[in-house]
Structure 1
Amino acid sequence: MARPNEEVEALLQEYADLIAITGGDAFKARAYEKAARAVGGFPDDVSTMDVKALREIPNVGKSIAEKVVEYLRTGRVAAFEETRASVPAGVRELLTIPTLGPRKALALYEELRVSSVAELLDAVRAERLRDLKGFGEKTERNILHGIELMQKAGGRILLSAALEAAERIVAELSRVPGCADCAYAGSLRRMRETIGDIDVLVAADDPEPFMEAFRALPDTAEIIASGRKKTSVRTSTGLQVDLRVLPPDAWGAGLLYFTGSRAHNIRIREIAVRKELKLSEYGLFRVKTGRKVASRTEEEVYARLGLPWIPPALREDRGEIAAALRGDLPDLVTEDDVRGDLHTHTDLTDGVSPLEEMVAAAAARGYAYYAVTDHAPNLYMQRMTDEKILAQRERVRALDGRHRRMRLLHGTELNIGPDGDLDWPDEFLAGFDLCVASVHSHFHQTREELTRRLVRACENPHVSVIGHPTTRRIGKRSGIDADFDEVFRACARTGTALEINSHPERLDLCDEDILRARRYGVKFAVNTDAHSVTHLSYLRFGVGTARRGWLTKDDVVNTWPPQKLRRFLDEGRRRG
């Protein structure tokens, strides 16, 4: 189940959308959006808090706090229900389209009586939207793209949500007597960015206690199928989870088989066939005699096929078998290798947590260094000024070294403007320890304009990292149409690192882009873009994506010792 904080966040965001749909006060809608983000990022469980405690959360006033308590106590908020009832269900369905805002959804309903995604598709194809004020051919293209994004996502969920559910299930089943081993497998173990369903494996002699425990889990909403060796359920959030129980002596073969990918398994089986062996979820067998030759561990199965163990993140049939046969598999970066976070925010701009709390949480993770990079003034809604950022710098300098001798870097996240210009002049940028530069708007420029914009940012000597390079949001917004091969060449030429943004809705760069960029000799920074202390743990998703991109710690600048990182940051300035 979702954390209470996430449930409340979704509720408050929905109400903000409903206010916008019904033409309510824009400031009120914005207040609920801010409160939603603040609650979602708050580290403590809001279900244990009263009105007074909730008001301590940034952007949560008395009225919102009372509504949160009402929801947590009763499962509903009367004021929200009234507003929800005033908006047709079809309009609320239209809001699930990533590129369609609340006002346009209401206009479509009022003017064309469109109340479903299917009806909207028909209206677009019949070119009926073009006569509406504020609509046109470009709007039609955006809507079609949004529907395509939604359909591609289908029933898939983000890696973070799947991992949370899987780890909870594994923990519960591991406590059942007779459990020799328990783990999740499938695309989740390979750390793919979205997951269709979850595969959980148990090694045990008697399957029945595990099937009973699995069916009885509190999050189980529906039993899809139930048998002695496999049971499938659907959780209250609609996620399908499959449990398989294997004999303990088949654990390694089963884990390999059900981890996949299918293409990787086909390659493995081809090697087995050439050696007159047969591979299944129960083991590796001789074809002629049927004798089992390996099965207990993955390492044992791979070794019998003449291969070293291949990390799950690489098992996508993207050259890992050939690399393994050559003895050339990379020593993949791990979360423990990361020595600091180079892109984070505080409540000075759009973060939730104060500077001191973010610094303390970073120190608790054992970091050697940590960068604070609040937004610069060209992202106007953040209301940054020269005076504010300089005052923050003084606070950062005062905190430097106070927490386990962790070094603090004072940086900023610059906005890359439509022409590639940045928020401050070079002489002001020279005062920062680190500058991350990111695209936040004008996503629909031409390919040439977007490419030139990014390349120009790379060429600024004060820019060390390009943040969330493609700007994508998984299932909500596709990446910008730039010539990224040209961008990768510019990064390699200028020594500018590309970010792997660890936020589970971004994971930007994705694994395929990382593989391409790596061939140009680009360096990377795995950052969280944290807006609250809870977001610092997103690092695991970014590292998982980096591993899928075959990266080692030599490729990732924030695994480097402080002195080497400092040289990297200084080299760009010298080139300028």
Structure 2
Amino acid sequence: MPRLNDQVRELLQEYADLINITGGDAFRARAYEKAARAVGGHPEDLAGLDVKGLQQIPGVGRSTAEKIAGYLATGTIPALEALRAEVPSGVREMTAVPGVGPKRALALYRDLGIASVDELAAAARAERLADLPGFGERSGERILHGIELMRQSGGRTLLDAATELAEQLVAALSAVPGCTRCAYAGSLRRMRETVGDIDVLATAADSAPLMAALTELPYVAEVIGSGGTKTSVRTTQGVQVDLRVLPEEDWGAALVYFTGSKAHNIRLRTMAVRAGLKLSEYGLFEVDGGAKVVSETEEEVYAALGLPWIPPPLREDRGEIEAALEGGLPDLVQESDLRGDLHTHTDLTDGLATLEEMVDTAAARGYSYFAVTDHAPDLVMQRMTDEKMLAQREQLRQLADRHKKLRLLHGTELNIGPDGGVDWPPEFLAGFDVCVASVHSHFALDRAAQTRRLIRACENPYVHVIGHLTTRRIGRRGPIDVDLDAVFEAAARTGTAIEINSSPQRLDLRDEDVLRARRHGVRFAIDSDAHATGQLGYPRYGIGTAQRGWLTAEDVVNTWTWQKLKHFLRKDAVPR
């Protein structure tokens, strides 16, 4: 079940979208968007806060606080309901299509009477969009691609939301008397970026109490089916959960089977057949006579097939079986290996927390070093100036006196322009400890232009990390069209790290691209891109992507000691 904060965040964001769609004041809409982010990123639960308490959240003004308090008391926001009545629900759904947004949704509704995603797709196919102001000849093609992207992600849950739900389920079921083991499996255990449903396994002599406990959870909206070994439910957020209860002696085989992937399991079953065995969720059996060989632990199942245990993120039939047979499985990077974070934001630009709050939270995480990288001036909406950046640098130096064990790095997230140039001249860039450079605009440039701009950014001697390289937002915006191999070659040649952006909405690079970049000899940075203190925990998701990309700690620059990282930040040659 989502946190109350997340529910309120979604409502405030919807209100902001509807203000935009109805042609309301853009400044007012931005204020509610900021409040939505602030509430979503607030570490404490909103329940029990009054108007005055809500106003203590940075970014939440009195009007917003009154709306939230009203929702907490009544379960509704009248102003939101009034705007909902003005706009067909399908029009707001159109804003979720990559490339549309509130202003275009309003134009489509006002000028063409388009009031749903299906109607939008039909208009795009009929080439009715090109003559609308703000659209163009290729708008229909891009919008159809955006609709396809949105529908591909439909019904799937982002990794952070799925993890939070699964951990709640496991905690609740583990507390049921008689439960001896409980864990989640499936694609979530393999750390895929989105999850279709959640598989939970448990062991008990009597399954009935566990099945009953699942169906009685407050965030279960529907029981799809229930039996002695399996119960399926749907949560209030529409996520299907499948609980299977089995004997403890079959735990290992079931965990292998229900973790998957399908392709990995087929390889295992093929190996079993060749050895005169049969592998199922109940165990590994002899074909002749049917005697059970092993089933209790995953390690025993893999060992009986002549393999070491294979970490779940690798189980995709992408060479892990061959590597295991040859003793070549990587020693995967772990979250505990991270010594710092090289990409974070404060309320100086679009963050929600102060510099002091972000630094204190980083120190509490036990980091050795921490970089603050607020946006540079070419992202005009952030209103950055030289003076603001230099004042932050001085403030960071003062905070360093309080945090003797945490090396504070002053950095910036630069904007990679369409020609590959970045904000600020070299003499100003030289004053930063670390520079992340990212694409924030001109997403529609052709492949050659995108490739040139990113290669030029890699070649900039002051750029240390390329942030969220493909710019994608899962289910919201597809990746830019770029020759990744050419960019990876440039990054390896220039000693520029490629970021694995750990925001669950991005997870950029994708795991497949991490594998490609690794073959080029690229170094990586696993960063949070945190805009609030709670988001400093995002690297757990970036670590999952890194593991799926076969990375070791040595591949990731922010696992290195400060002495070694210091050479990297000078763009000295760092041996592999």
Tell me the TM-score normalised to structure 1 length.
Answer: 0.98
Encode CA deviations 1:136-166: one digit per residue, 9 max, x unaligned: 3222122111101111112111011111100
User: In the alignment, residue 249 of structure 2 is paired with which amino acid?
Assistant: D
> 2:178 corresponds to which residue?
178
Give the root-mean-square deviation of aligned CA atoms: 1.2
> 1:273 corresponds to which residue?
273
> 1:514 corresponds to which residue?
514
Encode CA deviations 1:348-402: one digit per residue, 9 max, x unaligned: 1110000111001001111011101111111111111111111111111111252
**8 Å contact kept, 2:567–2:573:** no
- Distance in 2 (alpha carbons) for counterparts of 1:276 and 1:141: 54
- Distance in 2 (alpha carbons) for counterparts of 1:158 and 1:232: 20
Shift of 1:47: 2.1
Segments of 5+ residues of structure 2 without an aligned counterpart are: none
More displaced, 546-555 or 119-128? 119-128
Encode CA deviations 1:285-311: one digit per residue, 9 max, x unaligned: 011011111110000000011000000
**8 Å contact kept, 1:367–1:406:** yes
The residue correspondences of 1:108-123 to structure 2 (distance < 5 A) are: 108-123=108-123
- Distance in 2 (alpha carbons) for counterparts of 1:19 and 1:518: 45
**8 Å contact kept, 2:344–2:373:** yes
2:242 paired with 1:224: no
User: In the alignment, residue 10 of structure 1 is paired with which amino acid?
Assistant: E
- Distance in 2 (alpha carbons) for counterparts of 1:167 and 1:481: 37
User: In the alignment, residue 303 of structure 2 is paired with which amino acid?
Assistant: A
**8 Å contact kept, 1:200–1:242:** yes
Pair 178,369 (structure 1): closer, same or farther in 2 beyond 3 Å: same
2:107 paired with 1:93: no
> 2:423 corresponds to which residue?
423
User: In the alignment, residue 130 of structure 1 is paired with which amino acid?
Assistant: A
> 2:368 corresponds to which residue?
368
Number of corresponding residues: 574
Shift of 1:573: 10
Pair 439,131 (structure 1): closer, same or farther in 2 beyond 3 Å: closer
> 1:452 corresponds to which residue?
452
Encode CA deviations 1:267-296: one digit per residue, 9 max, x unaligned: 001110111010010100011011111110
Shift of 1:572: 4.9
User: In the alignment, residue 153 of structure 2 is paired with which amino acid?
Assistant: A
- Distance in 2 (alpha carbons) for counterparts of 1:90 and 1:280: 45
- Distance in 2 (alpha carbons) for counterparts of 1:93 and 1:348: 32
> 1:496 corresponds to which residue?
496
The residue correspondences of 1:319-398 to structure 2 (distance < 5 A) are: 319-398=319-398
More displaced, 331-340 or 22-31? 22-31
- Distance in 2 (alpha carbons) for counterparts of 1:377 and 1:153: 34
Any idea what SS the aligned residue of 2:538 has?
Answer: helix
- Distance in 2 (alpha carbons) for counterparts of 1:562 and 1:105: 49
The residue correspondences of 1:244-259 to structure 2 (distance < 5 A) are: 244-259=244-259
> 1:130 corresponds to which residue?
130
- Distance in 1 (alpha carbons) for counterparts of 2:533 and 2:356: 10
The residue correspondences of 1:411-560 to structure 2 (distance < 5 A) are: 411-560=411-560
Encode CA deviations 1:303-324: one digit per residue, 9 max, x unaligned: 0110000000000000000000
- Distance in 1 (alpha carbons) for counterparts of 2:464 and 2:396: 19
- Percent identical across equivalent pairs? 68
**8 Å contact kept, 1:501–1:509:** yes
- Distance in 2 (alpha carbons) for counterparts of 1:111 and 1:391: 48
- Distance in 1 (alpha carbons) for counterparts of 2:5 and 2:572: 41
Shift of 1:3: 1.1
> 2:214 corresponds to which residue?
214
Segments of 5+ residues of structure 1 without an aligned counterpart are: none
- Distance in 1 (alpha carbons) for counterparts of 2:144 and 2:161: 27
> 2:408 corresponds to which residue?
408
- Distance in 1 (alpha carbons) for counterparts of 2:542 and 2:259: 20
The residue correspondences of 1:559-570 to structure 2 (distance < 5 A) are: 559-570=559-570
Shift of 1:471: 0.5
**8 Å contact kept, 2:130–2:138:** no
- Distance in 2 (alpha carbons) for counterparts of 1:372 and 1:58: 19
- Distance in 2 (alpha carbons) for counterparts of 1:129 and 1:496: 41
The residue correspondences of 1:259-338 to structure 2 (distance < 5 A) are: 259-338=259-338
- Distance in 1 (alpha carbons) for counterparts of 2:373 and 2:131: 45
